[in-house]
């Protein structure tokens, strides 16, 4: 496999040995495609945006980072998979007043057992960063101006609304559209990292205050049901569509025919209910069609390119009773948050300094936790426009007989795409087929969750199929990290692909290896969620708190150890998953 051109690895630097799949595994759960990396991440895209944020906002000095300005020590590729630069995440936390490497570890790793201890080095200290972070924290806890974020939201909508008739563009114009959007991705990723860093500050202070007053369990409840979380909005819209299906015999019959080809069956029907539903579905896709599994890679399917993925989630929701409406759960969380907030404020009444700090942290959390999800939604909208341009180009290459699927052109690098649209690329099929085979081989591997030192070559990585973990027994308790409060008991349903949730029934417990916001519509019919890896500020957990679904993350090997059909209890307050019975 080594003779196939692929995305080059991040050069190893002894200064920054610690890398992880934590968090970045939600962004890029699969190996990025060559075009997906070149047109969005590399060559002045989102990777450069992260560097921009680190240097211009967070006080990291440019000379401290990788000498290549197109790279960044915060994110890179090893063995074909995306990795997060955990060394720098820790260093940044240590340089930030009131934070530490332990805080960063808690945010990204939860209770994962393999995290190496933090060892300070002289270069980790930098007064310039600390001074800059003092000013930045003043914004996070004081001014909180979100005008940049709002400008990005407006721009993302304008780009989507201004999508040209792609079929009328030349091959070269299609590629040019994607290239013109790359600097936008860079700008918006800069803002996304800014919002992500800010989103951890308020919750961190809230957690410290709650621990100090003897109620650490209050911390999570105080950041649930915040409202305005864009990544939760598709679930609300899907729920409304599911009620339409539930109340229509015509639609129920069409959905009962199975998920495969459902979109085509709906659009072929002349029944008024089907016509109205398709009109509502099209509106849903205009607003949320950029979402989907692996949505950061332009090669991946989204709800717009493959509506059956969204319809599969709607199908699961239609079986849930009306009283399980996610807005009801959200309202309950909002009320509980306000009750706990007033209780904490009463306990701090005699300590006005801490009370002021607590109030500022609550305002900050309510601003930046939703802000983080909005910044992601903004950039995902723009990435979708690159994807659609490449799909149209790919459709034409399929017609020429050079590839089998439109998305297969994403196995070409930027320079090859330029040669393709100029009519100068030969052996397209042979090149693509070799890389598809390499990609399938990469998918068969289990990338190390943590790299601490020179990265091992992927030829030494284990196969996913060889993964072995001891099966759970009745009465056993698995310890994870609390994700969303509450207790739920139900049948465990192990799901590895969010586009095929057919085994999930209302009241089941969703058990997954890792989730991103594309999974979160599956949270709605589920009584609870258990995830192998994840931490308190991961995207999926933020959404679960909006939807009010008890959730436990960082339960090591849960999707391997818990058999499908087991009865389990999820305690989102303590992070304990109890195996009640096994099939």
Tell me which residue has tokens 């080095």: 121
Check the CA dihedral 237-240-246-250 and report its sign. Answer: negative
Residue 258 CA to residue 270 CA, distance in Å, equals 19
Q: Give the H/E segment covering residue 385.
A: helix 352-399
Cα–Cα distance between 225 and 229 in angstroms, integer? 9
Count up the domains in the chain and report the number. Answer: 2
Residue 474 in contact with residue 492, Cβ under 8 Å? no
Nearest to 472 by CA among 559, 368, 378, 365: 559
146 & 42 share domain: yes
Q: Are strands 528-531 and 551-553 parallel, antiparallel or unpaired?
A: parallel
**In-domain check, residue 533:** yes
Same domain, 395 and 494: no
Q: Is residue 274 assigned to a domain?
A: no
The two three-digit tokens of residue 280, written as one number = 């509502």
> Domain end: 441, 469, 490, which one?
441
- Distance CA(46)–CA(84), nearest Å, equals 13
Name the maximum alpha-carbon separation found in the chain: 76
d(CA 398, CA 392): 10
| 432 & 481 share domain | no
Same domain, 413 and 481: no
Q: How far apart are CA 464 and CA 224, in angstroms?
A: 35
Tell me: do 429 and 481 sit in the same domain.
no
What is the spatial distance between Cα 518 and Cα 467, in angstroms, rounded to a whole number? Answer: 25
Same domain, 370 and 519: no
402 and 490, same domain (yes or no):
no
Whether 359 maps to a domain, the answer reads yes
Structure tokens at 27: 């962004």
Query: For position 545, what pLDDT does the model report?
Result: 86
Same domain, 37 and 176: yes
Paired tokens of 223 = 């950041």
Parallel, antiparallel, or unpaired: how do β-strands 551-553 and 481-484 relate?
antiparallel
Give Cα separations from 451 to 25, 60, 296, 454 (angstroms).
14, 23, 23, 8
**Domain region containing 368:** 18-213+355-441
What CATH number did the domain enclosing 514 receive?
Answer: 3.50.30.10
Helix axes 147-161, 171-199, angle to 10 degrees: 150
Domain limit, last residue, from 386, 415, 441:
441
Instruction: Give the per-residue pLDDT at 228.
Output: 85
Report the alpha-carbon distance of residue 362 to residue 150 in Å, rounded: 21
Q: Are strands 75-78 and 81-85 parallel, antiparallel or unpaired?
A: antiparallel
Which has the closest alpha carbon to 166: 484, 390, 328, 334?
A: 390
Choose among 564, 557, 159, 199: nearest CA to 387: 159
26 and 70 belong to one structural domain = yes
**How far, in Å, CA of 549 to CA of 529, rounded?**
7
The encoded tokens of residue 374 equal 């909005």
Inside any domain, residue 321: no
Q: Quick check: is 65 in a domain?
A: yes
Domain membership flag for residue 220: no
pLDDT, position 530: 94
Q: Check if the beta carbon of residue 472 is closer than 8 Å to that of residue 577.
A: no
Q: What are the structure tokens assigned to 541, written together? A: 């957990």
- Nearest CA to 524 out of 380, 372, 322 is that of 322
> Pairing state of beta strands 481-484 and 81-85?
unpaired
Q: What is the token pair recorded at 462?
A: 């284990």
- Whole-number pLDDT of residue 513: 85
Local structure of 429: helix, strand or coil: helix
Residues 437 and 537 in one domain: no
527: number of CA atoms within 13 Å, CB side?
A: 17
Q: What is residue 375's three-state secondary structure?
A: helix
The beta-carbon contacts of 348-355 under 8 Å, at least 24 apart in sequence, are 348/209, 348/213, 354/209, 354/212
The two three-digit tokens of residue 135, written as one number: 């000013």
Q: Which helix (H) or strand (E) holds 493?
A: strand 487-494
Polymer length in residues for the chain: 583
| 504 and 425 belong to one structural domain | no
Measured CA to CA in angstroms, residue 575 lies from 2, 477, 524, 561, 569 at distances of 42, 10, 20, 17, 11
Could you tell me the end-to-end alpha-carbon distance of the chain, in angstroms, rounded to an integer? 41
Residue 300 forms part of a structural domain: no
Residues 77, 30, single domain; the answer is yes
> Rounded CA gap, 569 and 562, in Å?
12
pLDDT tens for the chain, 583 residues long, are: 568 999 999 999 999 999 999 888 878 889 999 999 999 999 999 999 999 999 999 999 999 999 998 889 999 999 999 999 999 999 999 999 989 999 899 888 877 788 999 999 999 999 999 999 999 999 999 999 999 999 999 999 999 999 999 999 999 999 999 999 999 999 999 999 999 999 999 999 999 999 999 999 999 999 998 888 888 899 999 999 999 999 999 999 999 998 889 999 999 999 999 999 999 999 999 999 999 988 999 999 999 999 999 999 999 999 999 998 998 888 899 999 999 999 999 999 999 999 999 999 999 999 999 999 999 999 999 999 999 999 999 999 999 999 999 999 999 999 999 999 999 999 999 999 999 999 999 999 999 999 999 999 999 999 998 888 889 999 999 998 888 889 999 999 998 877 777 788 899 999 988 877 677 788 888 999 999 887 766 766 787 888 888 999 889 899 999 999 999 999 999 999 999 999 9
Domain-located, residue 471? no
**Which residue blocks in 5-85 are alpha helix, DSSP H?**
24-27, 34-36, 46-56
pLDDT given for residue 261 in this prediction? 92
Secondary structure of 93-159 in the HEC alphabet? HHHCCCCCHHHHHHHHHCCCCCCCCCCCCHHHCCHHHHHHHHHHHHHHHHHCCCHHHHHHHHHHHHH
- Asked whether the beta carbons of 541 and 551 are under 8 A apart, the reply is yes
Of 441, 465, 490, the last residue of a domain is: 441
Structure tokens at 479: 């310890």
Report the SS3 class of residue 285: helix
Task: Name, in order, each residue with C-beta under 8 angstroms of 490's C-beta and a sequence gap of 6 or more.
Answer: 507, 508, 509, 526, 527, 528, 567, 568
Residue from 579, 552, 550 nearest 566 by CA: 579
């Amino acid at each position: 496999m080594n003779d196939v051109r692929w995305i080059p690895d991040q050069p190893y630097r002894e200064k920054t040995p610690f890398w992880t799949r934590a968090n970045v595994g939600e962004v890029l759960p699969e190996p990025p495609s060559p075009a997906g990396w070149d047109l969005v991440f590399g060559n002045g895209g989102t990777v450069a945006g992260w560097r921009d944020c680190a240097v211009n906002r967070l006080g990291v000095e440019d000379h401290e980072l990788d000498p290549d300005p197109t790279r960044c020590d915060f994110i890179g590729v090893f063995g074909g998979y995306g990795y997060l630069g955990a060394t720098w995440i820790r260093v940044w936390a240590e340089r930030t007043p009131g934070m530490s490497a332990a805080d960063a570890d808690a945010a990204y790793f939860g209770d994962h057992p393999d995290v190496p201890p933090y060892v300070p080095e002289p270069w980790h200290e930098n007064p310039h960063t600390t001074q800059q972070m003092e000013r930045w924290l003043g914004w996070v806890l004081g001014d909180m101006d979100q005008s940049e974020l709002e400008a990005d939201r407006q721009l993302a909508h304008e780009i989507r609304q201004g999508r040209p008739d792609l079929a009328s563009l030349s091959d070269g114009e299609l590629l040019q559209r994607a290239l013109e959007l790359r600097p936008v991705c860079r700008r918006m990723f800069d803002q996304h990292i800014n919002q992500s860093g800010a989103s951890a500050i308020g919750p961190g202070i809230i957690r410290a205050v709650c621990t100090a007053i003897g109620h650490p369990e209050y911390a999570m409840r105080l950041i649930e049901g915040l409202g305005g979380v864009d990544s939760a909005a598709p679930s609300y819209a899907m729920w409304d569509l599911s009620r339409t299906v539930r109340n229509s015999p015509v639609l129920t019959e069409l959905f009962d025919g199975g998920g495969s080809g459902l979109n085509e069956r709906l659009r072929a029907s002349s029944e008024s209910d089907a016509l109205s539903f398709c009109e509502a579905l099209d509106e849903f896709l205009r607003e949320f069609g950029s979402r989907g599994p692996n949505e950061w890679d332009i090669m991946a399917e989204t709800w717009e390119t493959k509506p059956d993925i969204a319809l599969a989630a709607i199908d699961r929701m239609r079986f849930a009773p009306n009283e399980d409406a996610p807005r009801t759960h959200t309202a309950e969380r909002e009320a509980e948050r306000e009750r706990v907030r007033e209780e904490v404020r009463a306990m701090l009444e005699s300590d006005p300094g801490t009370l002021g700090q607590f109030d500022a942290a609550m305002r900050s959390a309510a601003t930046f936790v939703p802000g983080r999800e909005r910044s992601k939604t903004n950039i995902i909208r723009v990435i979708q426009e690159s994807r659609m341009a490449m799909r149209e180009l790919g459709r034409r290459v399929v017609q020429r007989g050079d590839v089998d699927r439109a998305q297969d052109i994403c196995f070409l690098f930027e320079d090859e795409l330029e040669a393709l649209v100029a009519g100068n690329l030969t052996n397209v099929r042979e090149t693509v087929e070799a890389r598809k085979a390499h990609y399938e081989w990469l998918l068969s591997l289990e990338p190390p969750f943590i790299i601490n030192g020179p990265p091992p070559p992927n030829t030494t990585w284990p196969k996913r199929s060889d993964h072995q973990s001891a099966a759970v027994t009745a009465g056993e308790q698995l310890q994870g990290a609390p994700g969303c409060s509450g207790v739920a008991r139900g049948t465990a349903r192990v799901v590895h692909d969010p586009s095929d949730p057919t085994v999930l029934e209302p009241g089941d417990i969703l058990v997954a290896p890792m989730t991103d916001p594309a999974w979160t519509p599956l949270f709605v019919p589920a009584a609870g969620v258990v995830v192998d890896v994840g931490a308190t500020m991961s995207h999926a957990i933020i959404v679960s708190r909006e939807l009010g679904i008890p959730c436990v993350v960082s339960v090591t090997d849960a999707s391997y150890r818990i058999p499908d059909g087991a009865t389990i209890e999820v305690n989102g307050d303590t992070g304990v998953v109890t195996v009640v019975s096994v099939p």
